Amino acid sequence: MILDRFGMTDKVAIVTGAGRGIGAASAVSLAEAGADVVISARTADQLGEVAKRIEAVGRKAVAVPADLNDLEAVAALVEHAREAFGRLDLVVNNVGGTMPQAFMDTSADVMEQAFHFNVATAHALLRPAVPLMLEGGGGSAVNISSAMGRLTGRGFLAYGTAKGALAHYTRLAATDLAPHIRVNAIAVGSVATSALDIVMQSDELRTAMEAGTPLGRIGDPEDIAAAVIYLASEAGSYVTGKVLEVDGGTEAPNLDMGIPDV
């Protein structure tokens, strides 16, 4: 049956930024599809709650509290997977984010930090993951990028440039690692996570953002988790080096950030 191709039974995944939002939804969805999951984020309490949800569906969770801005801590997650499960089939790189800033407020240091947090962290996890994946015959990676990696809007110089770089990293890594390891990305639109708390708490801002989205709503983390399952599972086995746009049809920023002209 076609639904069988979406199963992840007895696979092992690492999901970063898994304490809440897209990371948590992806980790739980992978468990619901049959995978055991190594989850990591800064806050232990949040990870504990996600681990309980994973275990509630009959799968195993290894929670690793860590500062994922530390590349050594990111790389160490692979050894956690090896020690706990002896294999690794999937990594979901969900670390990233950069606050909007005006052009003249975006220093070279801010640009470097954006690349570090949004791109270097993905490579820091995927590179040590490759040998362990190959021991099991292959695997896949899903990088969480952003619609702002291809759209233009005031204030997104550092974030959009870094996410654009992550998208092209995805294409290049997919070429390097084919045919045994697939690498894809998701260009995420406006999703109801903590990053949108201010919007979600304001009827005016939420209405404006919904109006600026062709599908007329803000995304749910499970919308992204569903795409993760597709790309990670056998259902996506003929897909690599691609950026799947899950953004409600957005072709322009759907909220004015109030960034002034130069």
pLDDT of residue 50: 98
pLDDT tens profile 164-217 = 999 999 999 999 999 999 999 999 998 988 776 666 677 778 888 888 899 999
Contacts 24+ apart (CB under 8 A), 233-237: 233/5, 233/6, 233/7, 233/8, 233/33, 234/4, 234/5, 234/6, 234/7, 235/2, 235/5, 235/6, 236/140, 236/182, 236/184, 237/5, 237/182
Contact yes or no for 177/218 (Cβ under 8 A) = no
Query: In sequence order, which residues have a C-beta less than 8 Å from that of residue 262 and are 6 or more positions away?
Result: 102, 103, 104
Query: For position 15, what pLDDT does the model report?
Result: 98
pLDDT of 198: 66
> For residue 17, is it within any domain?
yes
Instruction: Look at residue 214 and tell me if it is in a domain.
Output: yes
Q: With respect to residue 149, please indicate whether it lies within any of the assigned structural domains.
A: yes
List residues with catalytic annotation: 159
Residues of the chain with pLDDT > 90, as a percent, come to: 82
Domain membership flag for residue 7: yes
- What whole-number distance in Å separates Cα of residue 8 and Cα of residue 172? 26
- CATH code (residue 235): 3.40.50.720
In a domain, 134, yes or no: yes
Please check whether residue 46 lies inside any domain of the structure.
yes
- Cα separation values, 22 from 2, 130, 249, Å: 25, 23, 19
What is the extent of the structural domain holding 53?
2-244
**Model pTM?**
0.95
Residue 189 lies in a domain: yes
- Predicted local distance difference test score (pLDDT) of residue 246: 97
Low-confidence stretches of the chain (pLDDT < 70) are 196-200
Within a domain: 254: no
Q: Structural domain tally of the chain?
A: 1
